[in-house]
Amino acid sequence: MISVEPPTDADIDVLHPMLRETYWSPGIPRDTVERACANSLCAIARSEAGVLIGFARAVTDRTVFAWVCDVIVAPGHRGDGLGRGLVRTLMEHPDTQTVRRWMLGTLDAHGVYSELGFGPIKEPHRLMDVIKPAHYAKPES
123: pLDDT strictly greater than 70: yes
| Angle at alpha carbon of residue 23, lines to 20 and 27, rounded to 5° | 30
Q: Which band of pLDDT confidence, cut at 50, 70 and 90, is reported for residue 134?
A: confident
- Euclidean distance between CA atoms 112 and 87, whole angstroms: 10
Q: Is residue 20 part of a domain?
A: yes
108: pLDDT strictly greater than 90: yes
Structural domain containing residue 64: 2-119
Count of domains forming the chain? 1
Q: Is residue 127 part of a domain?
A: no
Q: Is residue 124 part of a domain?
A: no
Q: What is the CATH number of the domain that holds 81?
A: 3.40.630.30
pTM, two decimals, is 0.92
Q: Is residue 139 part of a domain?
A: no
Which of 63, 69, 67 has the alpha carbon at shortest distance from 99? Answer: 63
Q: Which band of pLDDT confidence, cut at 50, 70 and 90, is reported for residue 72?
A: very high
At residue 47, the pLDDT reads 95
Mean pLDDT of 90-109: 97
